[in-house]
A and B are shown apart, each in its own frame.
Chain A
Amino acid sequence: MTVAFGPNRWAIEITKMLNMVFGPEHFPIDVVAIAREYTAQRFPGDAITLAEGADLPGFDGALYRAPAGKNGWGIVYNNSLASRGRINFTLAHEFGHYLLHRVEHPNGIRCGAQDVVRWDSAYGQIEHQANQFAATLLMPLDDFRRQIDARAHVDLDMISHCAERYRVSLIAAILRWLVYTERRAVLVVSRDGFILWSRASEAAAKTGAVFRTSGAPIEIPPQSLAATQDLLVDGRAGILHGAGVWFDEEVREMTIFSEQYEFTITMLLLEDRDRYFQLEPDPEEDTYDRFTSQR
């Protein structure tokens, strides 16, 4: 019988077990070994019995049910990616699908002829849960906090060190740090001068330091390191921009270019601030209110 645990609960269960067996210093996690051992003990007859990597261009990984005559489930993944961190995250992600989704979807997800859109949105949800599981398993917050205090001023080297420790990509480590830092920080991933996506820490989001990428493309400021791609400037150490470049305040920008994936990773660090006064709700009736109240 399987209890319907969520992604975090599963990850924490396994972390507790790892802490018991190996102690708190058990990083990076050997996902394949743990997935096999853990599932063999906990779900005998329905365990993960295969984990095989191959050169599979355009593919990250998938979870398969064993064919007739064999038992259990298998993870097939692309092991030709240059980034070990990405491979490790994929393995944990597929392990997450196994724990979270195999019971609900005993026959996998089938894509009917008219089902593309709905299938895609369900797909989005289960992908998100599997990512949440992978991040929590590979980078437990208690350990991350011991590496980088929630109040610490960071630089990319500090976060790179954690990416190494947990064997994840730099972006995965930054996203994890953003979950708990009390500092105002914004991650911006851009390509060809426009923002692909962005994520802000809670303190940054509360003060309006965010980029909303769901609408029209947002161009990155021409004065930024991300836009200049000036290899003579040490983008890792960062530079301090005055107000008016990224935001209406000083910002420390650190940028690295990922040639391999053709995108630019930028960390924006802002000073602590309670709120943006200009974003406080306007008590006066504004033009829009007046317009709508007249209708």
Chain B
Amino acid sequence: MATTLGEKIHRLRKEKKLSLEKLGELTDSSKSYIWELENKNPPRPSAEKIARIAAVLGVTADHLVDTREARPDASVVDDAFFRKYRNMDAPTKEKIRQIVELWGDENK
């Protein structure tokens, strides 16, 4: 997945200039629960809760919830140690693949 649920909520909330309190209030959640959603990795909230948060943030629930696999793709994962592999998006993976493929002969 390119962006986690928490990062998306955080970014959208900032864009809407909503405080943690405000988003909590509008979705019947506590301020600390919203913070946890954004910054920690609590069990995924109920579909209903996601729908309410999505509605307040002006997006669809599908947009918030990741449907893609949380794994790097097989062509890139081989022979590599990853950092922050979860955050890699397709163009980044592609660039890395190119760098590795073009392993310069001058580097011999």
Contacts and interface: CB of A to CB of B under 8 A. Distances in A.
A58 B90 CA distance: 11
A194 to B, nearest CB: 5
Nearest to B100: A64
Given A57-B89, A66-B103, A116-B71, A217 B35 contact: yes
B99 interface: yes
Interface string B76-108: 011111111001110010011001110111011
A123 B82 CA distance: 8
Given A116-B71, A193-B20, A217-B36, A60 B103 contact: no
A115 B78 CA distance: 15
B32 interface: yes
Interface residues of B, number: 33
Contact of A191 (B39, B70, B79, B107): B39
Contact of A50 (B79, B87, B92, B107): B107
Contacts of B95: 54-56
A65 interface: yes
Contacts of B99: 50, 52, 54, 74, 76
A74 B79 CA distance: 10
Given A64-B79, A111-B72, A216 B32 contact: yes
A108 B107 contact: no
A59 to B, nearest CB: 5
B40 interface: yes
A50 B83 CA distance: 18
A49 B77 contact: no
A150 to B, nearest CB: 32
Given A67-B103, A111-B71, A216-B32, A58 B79 contact: no
A216 B99 CA distance: 43
Nearest to A191: B39
Which among B2, B82, B95 has the highest number of chain A CB atoms within 10 Å? B82
A63 B99 CA distance: 12
Contact of B108 (A71, A127, A196): A71
9 contacts: A49-B103, A50-B99, A52-B99, A54-B99, A58-B92, A70-B105, A108-B81, A111-B71, A192-B38
Interface of B: 2, 20, 32, 35-36, 38-40, 70-72, 77-84, 87-89, 92, 95-96, 99-101, 103-105, 107-108
Nearest 10 Cβ contacts at the A-B interface: A58-B87, A65-B79, A108-B79, A60-B83, A217-B32, A49-B107, A70-B103, A97-B81, A194-B35, A63-B81
